[in-house]
A and B are shown apart, each in its own frame.
Chain A
Amino acid sequence: MLKSMTRSMTRGLRGAMFGLVAAAALAAATPAMAQESTDPIKLTLHDWTGQLITTNLMAEVLKKAGYSVELVQADYLAQFAGLEAGDLHVAMEMWETTGRDAMDASTATGKTEVIGPTGMQAKEEWWYPTYMKEKCPGLPNWEALKDEKCAEAFSTAETAPKGRYLGGPVTWGGFDDERVAALGLPFEVVHAGTDAALFAELESAYQRKAPILLWIYAPHWAPAKYQGEWVEFPAYTKECYTDPKWGSNPDALYDCGKPFGEIWKVGWAGLKDKWPGAYKAIKAFSINNDEMGAMITKVDLDGKSVNDVVAEWMAANEPRWSEWIKK
């Protein structure tokens, strides 16, 4: 009813009316902005905790600013179809390391745009539990992996005498097969199909204190739950991935570690015209790895609900988020 009434009113009245509605609906609403659409802003939810937290934080902040938001579950990469069509509006976590190609392909259509970094840094690299250091003392330096005894410590019946490295799903890319070849590591790359499978193997090995070397990413609960370290490869540079001459192997690309990078916010291109204020708030949203790591740990390891953890953060950081939604 209210909605249809507001629609029939004149423009000037509509803004005021919306303010009233918003104030009535959300007691703590800050004064709402005029001329913005009252349609809900749709944010996408994926299936990992960190992303659920980021998205719920953003949603709470937008609600405080008087916007209507809706959370929609969507696949990490399949969501671009929805973002381009304007069926979905905001994706809060697009990782430089895994989502770059899809993101570039999508922004190239002009129907989506990058709204800026989230402030979090994605880290992805080979990782091993601390107890493996006994068997392979040279770690974390990558050259230790060249030692055959060390590789054998990581081997299984299928890969022996080569070591076994469990890479991410093929869809993540990552050039690990190429890296192994370029650096001359006596290892075989096995790809997990999903990240659930990746961590199931880690959990299994960790319970038995068995050898494992695998792809881990952060922010994630795993580095908090399991004691271990990242392998230190020659640091990534752009040239390493584009110029074979770079690095220890003059004939091959990828003779270095994985790139670390931003986690981006991506949105529908129409967002900034339809909800200019919300666009500004989303752009301003920023959070760092340590905060996020702590929140993920609270949810995944201490068993708190996402909503509680988000509410805690909102209460503790009021000055920060009110800055984001300031006019």
Chain B
Amino acid sequence: MAAAPARNIGNWWFAAVLIAALALWFAGKGTVPWAFDYPKAWMIPAMQWVGGFSKWLVDQAHFGLFTFKELTRFLAGLVDFPYRIVLSLLATGFLEGQGSAAVQIVPPLPWWAVTIIAALFGHWAGGRKLALFTTACFLFLAAFRQWDSAMVTLASILVAAPLGTIGGILLGVACYRWPLFQRLIAPVLDLMQTMPVFAYLVPVLVLFGFGPTAAIVATLIFAMPPMIRVTLLGLKGVPGEIHDLAAMVGCTQAQTMWRVLVPAARQSLMVGVNQVIMLSLNMVIIASMIGAGGLGFDVLTALRRLDFGAGIEAGFAIVVLALVLDRLSQAAADKLGAPQASTEGRSFVQRHPHGVAAAAVAVMAILLAYMAPVLQAYPQALSVSTGAFFSDVVAWINVNYFDALEGFKNFILLNILVPAKRLLFTVPWIGAVAVLAALGFKLGGWRLAVLAGTLVFLIAATGQWEKAMITVYLCGTAVVLATLIGVPVGVLAADRERLWRGVQAVIDTLQTLPSFVYLMPVVMLFRVGDFTALIAIVAFAVVPAIRYTVLGLQKVDPSLIEAGRAMGATPWQILSRIRLRLALPDILLGMNQTIMFALSMLVITALVGTRDLGQEVYIALTKADIGRGIVAGLAVAFIAIVSDRLIAGAAARQKAGLGLA
């Protein structure tokens, strides 16, 4: 154990710094006031710097022949072109001219044609079962009168997801090829994933123009990083034998990459595609605020008139879209990866029955649209709606149970939230910097110590300390609660196939249903404030806590459990001493994701009146103050990065300790 002495030094340092910081904390504000309130005179004017830089970027930056803004507008055009085509096909039809004077030349595909084509795709990729599932999903959209909005949303996802996937693969390959590039891009990826979208919305709008294109660009910024990471991870995971094989058969470098390595990493790449789709759908609400329209806009307007039924219907339409896209993409990947049956000696139609049928349906649908326009829209008489049902349910709970709920809320508020908040407000910033740096040193050496210390210092030095503490208190409490709920649920579900399927359906819904949909009923029952925000954060952050617990437990080698049983361990001992201990690295990873999910909810909780960094970002957005928004956004990102690195360090140590690494 060569690392043992180093680890001991880390532990000593950590203990010493912790004691010093605690002493400072107890000594209180009176002794060294500057350690508690960061002095104004030392403040780094980051807001002005960022504001000035972005102004320069937008107004002056140029590359000789063209300006930076012209470049971004050109890129926007590249995104806009495929989007217009897909949108025309699914929603608006192909038009001559612009705006309201436009005349439709070719109508869009009617609802039944889209459904049949999707079902054919499902049949090709996953057989009859998937075809039926796809049909049911699309019929749901039509029957609940969500069709038109759903097609607008679908169009933007159908453009954003492939662009995100292709871009992610290209950048991932570049990272693999050039380690220097990887090192340069790594911090950027962290920021892309952890900065609240509202923080960079204004610059995106200015640079890419207003409308669906800017929304797609914002979606790409948010949804692409996991694809890049997964690509890199997948390529690195390709076994050495395959490399050798490629070298032996004389592949060029490009051939090795595109013909051998990328296909070999296909399994991991599909995980990335799934993430891109899910994250794109997470962006639907925010995208609709900047001109993307579609289902997100319906959710927003429905909730503004407190029409919960309409909000839930539009929200579930988003969930259905997510489900169907996820299943189809997974099945398609499996299909493409499976060995193909020999098709020699067959005609084109025989080789591509699904493609030919889909094309035939499309052509027929458009011809029919000219002859019998009635068939274009889903018949009104067959549509269903939940009407006032959900509003009535909420009203009933409100009238009958409000007092009981209020009691529960006050209990949590007075016993957990308020004390936690008070406690964090008394923490001296310099103590936090020192303790986290020491913890970084203990867990990952001096590099991690410098990183953690610097980032935490920067939060204080840019004047975000107090808001950051509210953020930590809110997200921290939520993460603890989510873990307390998520881990036991995961333990219960891990070896019960049927329960796990049910739980999966619930967490898939929680992940894709826009939280705005349930946030307003929650406001009715619990009023605006921290408690409501807490519910929203926990509901979202519990998803990874459950998922990773199950993943970790299911990965545990069954022979180890068997060995434990043979030695006469009780079920409780098997769970606590064997299964949970071995699953701990995965559970820690899940906790890391729980923190990320919790932080990503800050944007939403700002909408129910919290006073954290999320609110700061939101205020900056409404004032179009780029500097203020980015600085507050960076503070969120720094909290995320510090907690991510520290937990990753802890997980790595845990793994090493268990001999799993």
Partners in one complex: yes
Q: Are A201 and B524 in contact (CB under 8 A)?
A: yes
Interface string of A55-87 (1 = CB under 8 A from B): 000010001000111101111111111100101
Contact A3 B96 (CB under 8 A): yes
* In the complex, B363 has a CB within 8 A of chain A: no
CB distance from A94 to the nearest CB of B (A): 13
- Against A, the Cβ 8 Å flags (1 = close, 0 = not) of B77-103 are 000000000000000000011111111
**Contact between A193 and B100, CB atoms less than 8 A apart:** no
CB distance from A80 to the nearest CB of B (A): 6
**Cα(A1)–Cα(B300), bound, Å:** 38
Rounded to whole angstroms, the CA-CA distance of A40 and B410 in the bound complex is 54
B153 within 8 A of partner (CB): no
CB-based contact B609/A169 at 8 Å? yes
A210 to B406, CA, bound (A): 13
Interface residues of B in 92-118 (CB under 8 A from A): 96-103
Q: A59-B100, A207-B399, A221-B305 are in contact. Are A192 and B291 (CB under 8 A)?
A: no
Q: Provide the residues of chain B in CB contact with A76, threshold 8 Å.
A: 622
Taking a contact as CB atoms under 8 Å apart, the answer to whether B398 and A208 are in contact is: yes
Nearest Cβ on chain B to A321's Cβ, whole angstroms: 16
Residue on A nearest B303 in the bound complex, by CB: A196
| Residue on B nearest A77 in the bound complex, by CB | B622
A183-204 vs B, Cβ < 8 Å mask (1 yes, 0 no): 0000000111111111111011
| A75 in complex: contacting residue of B290, B303, B519, CB < 8 Å | B290
Which residue of B102, B516, B528 is within 8 Å of A192 (Cβ)? B528
Report whether B622 and A102 are in contact in the complex, using a CB–CB cutoff of 8 Å.
yes
A contact residues around B520 at 8 Å (CB): 196-197, 200
B566-603: CB near A (< 8 Å → 1, else 0) gives 00000000000000000000000000000000000000
Assess A87 versus B100: contact at CB under 8 Å? Given A156-B527, A201-B528. no
Complex interface: chain A residues within 8 A of B288 (CB): 73
A171→B618 contact, CB < 8 A: yes
Tell whether A322 is near chain B: CB-to-CB under 8 Å: no
B621 to A77, Cβ gap below 8 A? Answer: yes
Question: What does the 1/0 interface line of B493-524 toward A look like (CB < 8 Å)?
Answer: 00000000000000000000000100111011
Report Cα–Cα, A191/B609, bound state, in Å.
6
For the complex formed, measure the closest distance between the CB of B633 and the CB atoms of chain A, giving whole angstroms: 15
**Chain A contacts for B202, CB-based, 8 A:** 78, 81
C-alpha spacing A196/B398, complex, angstroms: 17
- Which residues on B sit within 8 Å (CB–CB) of A192? 528, 608-609
Q: Which residue of A lies closest to B387 (CB)?
A: A303
**Is there contact, CB below 8 Å, between A190 and B528?**
yes
> Known contacts A73-B293, A87-B210, A88-B210: does B624 contact A157 (CB below 8 Å)?
no
Interface centre among B96, B99, B524, B624 (most CB of A within 10 A): B99
Give chain A nearest CB distance to B601 CB in angstroms.
Answer: 13
Residue-wise, chain B 519-540 has the 8 Å CB interface mask toward A (1 for contact) of 1110111011100000000000
Residue of B nearest to A1 (CB): B96
Contact of B211 among A87, A169, A196 (CB under 8 A): A87
Does B161 sit within 8 A of A, measured CB to CB?
no
Complex CA gap A52/B302 in Å reads: 13
Task: Write the nearest CB–CB distance from B565 to chain A, whole angstroms.
Answer: 52
Q: A48-B304, A73-B292 are in contact. Are A200 and B523 (CB under 8 A)?
A: yes
Decide: B619 and A197 in contact? CB cutoff 8 A: no
| Residue from A3, A25, A87 with most neighbouring chain B CB atoms (10 Å) | A87
A300 within 8 A of B: yes
Inter-chain contacts of B201 with A (CB < 8 A): 78
Q: Does B222 contact A (CB under 8 A)?
A: no
Please name all residues of chain A whose beta carbon is closer than 8 Å to the beta carbon of B529 when the two chains form the complex: 158, 190
Q: Is the CB of A157 within 8 A of B406?
A: yes
A309 contacts partner chain B, Cβ-Cβ < 8 Å: no
Whether a CB of chain B sits under 8 angstroms from the CB of A39 is yes
With contacts A81-B624, A82-B205 taken as known, whether A193 is within 8 angstroms of B211 at the C-beta atoms is no
Does A13 reach chain B (CB closer than 8 Å)?
no
Complex partner residue of B304 from A1, A25, A195, A210, CB under 8 angstroms: A195
How many pairs, one residue from A and one from B, have CB atoms within 8 Å of each other in the complex? 182
Chain B residues with Cβ below 8 Å from A85 are: 206, 209-210
Question: Which residues of chain A have C-beta atoms less than 8 A from B399's C-beta?
Answer: 207-208
Given the interface contacts A69-B99, A73-B293, A75-B290, does A194 sit within 8 Å of B623 by beta carbon?
no
Q: Which of A124-142 contact B (CB under 8 A)?
A: none
Near A by CB (< 8 A), chain B positions 246-303 give: 288-293, 297, 300-301, 303
Take A87-B210, A192-B609, A193-B608 as given contacts and tell me if A39 and B98 are in contact as well, using a CB distance cutoff of 8 Å. yes
Quick check: is B606 within 8 A (CB to CB) of the other chain?
yes
Bound-state Cα–Cα, A87 to B624, Å: 16
Which partner residue on chain A sits nearest B526 by CB separation? A204
Contacts of B205 in A (CB 8 A): 78, 81-82
User: How far, in angstroms, from A242 to B528 measured CA to CA in the complex?
Assistant: 32
Chain A interface residue bracket vs B: 35 or more
Please name all residues of chain B whose beta carbon is closer than 8 Å to the beta carbon of A199 when the two chains form the complex: 304, 306
Name the CB-closest residue of B to A157.
Answer: B410
Does any Cβ of A come within 8 Å of B607's Cβ? yes
Does B615 make an interface contact (CB < 8 A)?
Answer: yes
B279 to chain A minimum Cβ distance, whole angstroms, is 21
CB neighbours (8 Å) of A316 from chain B are none
Known contacts A21-B101, A68-B98, A203-B524; is A78 also within 8 Å of B607 by CB?
no
A101 at interface, CB cutoff 8 A:
yes
Give min CB distance, B255 to chain A, whole Å. Answer: 44
- Asked, given contacts A2-B97, A192-B608, A194-B607, whether A78 binds B304 with beta carbons under 8 Å apart, the answer is no
Find the B residue at minimum CB distance from A168.
Answer: B609
Question: How far is A170 from B439 in the complex, measured between Cα atoms in Å?
Answer: 37
Please determine whether B210 and A70 come into contact, CB atoms closer than 8 angstroms. Answer: no
A204: contacting residue among B101, B413, B525, CB under 8 A:
B525
Q: Which residues of A contact B623 (CB under 8 A)?
A: 77, 101-102, 105, 171
Chain B residues with CB under 8 Å of A47's CB are: 297, 300-301, 304
A49 part of interface (Cβ distance < 8 Å): yes
Contact with A along B195-211 (1 / 0, CB 8 A): 00000011001100111
Q: Which residues of B lie under 8 Å from residue A231 when comparing CB positions?
A: none
Q: Which of A68, A82, A157 contacts B99 (CB 8 A)?
A: A68
Q: Is A213 an interface residue (CB 8 A)?
A: no
Inter-chain CA distance A222–B520, complex, in Å, is: 16
When the two chains form their complex, are residues B291 and A74 in contact, meaning their CB atoms are under 8 A apart? yes
A75 and B516 CA atoms in complex are apart in Å by: 16
CB A308 to nearest CB in B, in angstroms, measures: 14
Cβ–Cβ contact B624 & A77, under 8 A? yes
How far does the alpha carbon of A52 sit from the alpha carbon of B300 in the complex, in Å? 13
**Are B209 and A193 neighbours in the complex by a CB distance under 8 Å?**
no
A166 at the binding interface (Cβ < 8 Å): yes
In the complex the two chains form, is B290's CB within 8 Å of A68's CB? no
B402 within 8 A of A: yes
Q: Chain A contacts of B420 at CB under 8 A?
A: none
A53 shortest CB reach to chain B, Å? 12
Q: Mark B371-405, 1 if CB is under 8 A from A, else 0.
A: 00000000000000000000000010011001000
**Per-residue 0/1 for A146-167: is the Cβ within 8 Å of any B Cβ (1 yes, 0 no)?**
0000000000111000000010
Binding site for A on B (CB under 8 A): 96-103, 201-202, 205-206, 209-211, 288-293, 297, 300-301, 303-306, 395, 398-399, 402, 406, 410, 413, 516, 519-521, 523-525, 527-529, 605-611, 615, 618-619, 621-624
Closest 6 A/B residue pairs (Cβ): A40-B99, A82-B210, A68-B101, A68-B99, A204-B524, A193-B607
* Interchain residue pairs with CB less than 8 A apart (25): A2-B96, A25-B101, A41-B99, A42-B99, A49-B304, A49-B305, A68-B99, A73-B288, A74-B210, A78-B624, A80-B624, A81-B210, A158-B413, A169-B607, A190-B609, A191-B611, A193-B607, A193-B608, A193-B609, A193-B610, A197-B520, A199-B304, A199-B306, A200-B523, A207-B398
Q: A40-B98, A204-B524 are in contact. List 5 more A-B contacts (CB 8 A).
A: A67-B100, A78-B205, A191-B611, A197-B519, A221-B305
